[in-house]
């Protein structure tokens, strides 16, 4: 019964967030929507923001539990995108409030876990250092979160299924390349993301030269 009441309060807050900003929701609003008294509310939560924290934690756990181990990167990304669509009003109201950092943190936790799972799957059988895996996960996660937050900032004007498809194709086309470049056996003590001393530098006109003797641009003068 206690678990049901706690979840009911969280659900009522979610419903209210579909209607207005968290800054305009009161304990009275939640009590009336849940048909409980204030004593019951304060038995479970100290204030509305504690309810919000519990709601985001719960939704994060549910999102991770719902992940399909057999789903492709695109299928799983599309599923998470449609979940955002289902809560678009609530997310929009949260993003427009002074608590927008909470929604950003929620997206990061869910996205990082999702991307990590798929990058690790791609890296199976490859001797890729853990720090390089983390870098690649951060690279894709921040790109995806940035795209989603920009869409939310624009008040989610229309469906973006085509962008999800394009982003997924970009991931599939590059993740193996990044992982192979990070192989410890091929690059001992160095990251593929760091330019090696013998790598050619582009001149002003965008051409590449094998060494500094073939070009007099500032890049190669310094080199």
Express each pLDDT in 112-145 by its tens digit: 988 999 999 999 988 888 989 999 999 999 998 8
Helix (H, G, I), strand (E, B) or coil at 164: helix
User: 157 and 50, same structural domain?
Assistant: no
Structure confidence at residue 51 (pLDDT) = 93
Q: What is the DSSP string of 68-103?
A: -TT--HHHHHHHHHHHHHHTHHHHHHHHTSTTHHHH
Other residues' Cβ atoms within 10 Å of the Cβ of residue 124 = 7
At which of 65, 91, 110 does a domain end?
65
User: 143 and 77, same structural domain?
Assistant: yes
Domain extent at residue 204: 194-223
User: 112 and 160, same structural domain?
Assistant: yes
State percent of the chain over pLDDT 90: 31
Structure confidence at residue 68 (pLDDT) = 67
196 pLDDT exceeds 60? no
User: 29 and 12, same structural domain?
Assistant: yes
User: 1 and 100, same structural domain?
Assistant: no
Give the residue from 137, 164, 172 showing the smallest Cα distance to 79. 164
Structural domains counted in the chain: 3
User: 182 and 95, same structural domain?
Assistant: yes
CATH (domain of 46) = 1.10.357.10
User: 163 and 83, same structural domain?
Assistant: yes
User: 127 and 216, same structural domain?
Assistant: no
Q: What is the pTM of this model?
A: 0.68
- Mean pLDDT, rounded, for 97-109: 82
User: 130 and 93, same structural domain?
Assistant: yes
At which of 65, 95, 121 does a domain end?
65
């Amino acid at each position: 019964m206690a678990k049901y009441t706690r979840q009911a309060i969280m659900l009522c807050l979610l419903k209210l967030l579909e209607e207005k900003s968290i800054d305009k929701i009161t304990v009275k609003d939640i009590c009336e929507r849940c048909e409980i008294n204030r004593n019951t509310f304060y038995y479970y939560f100290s204030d509305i923001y504690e309810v919000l924290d519990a709601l985001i934690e719960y939704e994060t756990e549910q999102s991770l539990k719902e992940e399909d181990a057999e789903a492709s990167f695109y299928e799983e990304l599309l599923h998470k995108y449609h979940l955002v669509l289902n809560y678009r009003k609530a997310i929009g109201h949260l993003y427009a409030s002074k608590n927008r950092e909470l929604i950003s943190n929620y997206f990061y936790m869910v996205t990082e876990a999702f991307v990590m799972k798929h990058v690790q799957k791609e890296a199976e059988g490859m001797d890729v250092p853990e720090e390089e895996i983390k870098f690649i996960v951060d690279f894709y996660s921040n790109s995806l979160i940035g795209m989603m937050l920009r869409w939310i900032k624009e008040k989610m004007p229309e469906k973006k299924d085509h962008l999800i498809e394009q982003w997924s194709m970009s991931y599939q086309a590059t993740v193996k390349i990044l992982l192979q470049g990070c192989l410890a056996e091929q690059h001992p003590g160095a990251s593929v993301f760091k330019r090696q001393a013998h790598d050619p530098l582009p001149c002003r006109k965008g051409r590449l030269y094998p060494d500094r003797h073939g070009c007099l641009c500032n890049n190669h003068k310094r080199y």
